[in-house]
């Protein structure tokens, strides 16, 4: 319990040093990871069952070689592809937004520095340092959030493509 309190205090100090913009970075990061975890769950548990059902439906068809059968096959593949790529645009958008939110933190931190300089002058480096850290910490947090999301979203896209190709290979054209 004491360890959790220590972690919570560290997080609270980090947010206090970086400013309120870090709440928005954390919110974007939470949504992004929630969606990515949902996609991993879909690829590992839900889609294999759907793929199995599609393959069974294709094999149970009497006609698998006519133009109409190929259109039905293409429609099933297209629907499966849509399900595989669901929410990927939102994930990529959140990955792209994280550095921008960090940049917003940079701007607010620099405004804080200029405000301190205008009221206190340039003679108090401690006050200026607080504003500069408030400017750099959100940028760093936004970049770290984006990098983690970028790596895993590209893995998700590769997984979706792999599942689609596997489905296509499972529905042979005769």
pLDDT at residue 148, rounded to an integer: 92
C-alpha 34/C-alpha 149 separation (Å) is 11
pLDDT at residue 123, rounded to an integer: 67
- What SS3 state is found at 46? helix
173 within 8 A of 148, measured Cβ to Cβ: no
pLDDT at residue 122, rounded to an integer: 67
Average pLDDT across the chain, whole number: 89
C-alpha 74/C-alpha 62 separation (Å) is 17
pLDDT at residue 109, rounded to an integer: 82
pLDDT digits (tens, 9 = 90+) for 151-160: 999 999 999 9
What does the block give as tokens for 52? 């199995």
pLDDT at residue 70, rounded to an integer: 92
Q: How many domains does the chain have?
A: 1
pLDDT digits (tens, 9 = 90+) for 14-68: 877 777 888 999 999 999 999 999 999 999 999 999 999 999 999 998 888 899 9
Residue 149 in this model has a pLDDT that exceeds 80? yes
pLDDT digits (tens, 9 = 90+) for 64-114: 889 999 999 999 999 999 999 999 999 999 999 999 999 998 888 888 778
Per the structure, the complete domain to which residue 137 belongs is given by 2-170
- What SS3 state is found at 2? helix
pLDDT digits (tens, 9 = 90+) for 114-141: 877 777 766 667 777 777 777 888 999 9
The residue assigned the tokens 């099933």 is 76
109 within 8 A of 135, measured Cβ to Cβ: yes
pLDDT at residue 3, rounded to an integer: 79
> Which ranges in the chain belong to alpha helices (H)?
2-18, 21-41, 47-60, 67-84, 88-120, 125-170
Burial class (CB in 10 A: 0-12, 13-18, 19+), 83: middle
């Amino acid at each position: 319990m004491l360890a959790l309190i220590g972690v919570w205090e560290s997080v609270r100090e980090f947010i206090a040093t970086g400013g309120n913009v870090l709440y928005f970075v954390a919110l974007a990061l939470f949504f992004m990871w929630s969606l990515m975890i949902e996609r991993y769950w879909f690829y590992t548990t839900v889609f294999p069952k759907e793929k199995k059902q599609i393959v069974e439906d294709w094999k149970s068809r009497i006609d698998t070689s006519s133009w109409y059968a190929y259109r039905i096959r293409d429609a099933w593949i297209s629907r499966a592809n849509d399900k595989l790529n669901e929410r990927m645009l939102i994930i990529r958008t959140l990955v792209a937004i994280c550095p921008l939110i960090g940049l917003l933190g940079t701007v607010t931190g620099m405004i804080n520095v200029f405000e301190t300089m205008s009221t206190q002058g340039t003679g108090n480096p401690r006050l200026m340092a607080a504003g500069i850290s408030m400017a750099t910490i959100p940028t760093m947090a936004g970049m770290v959030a984006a990098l983690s999301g970028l790596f895993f979203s590209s893995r998700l896209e590769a997984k979706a493509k792999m599942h689609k190709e596997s489905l296509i290979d499972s529905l042979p054209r005769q």
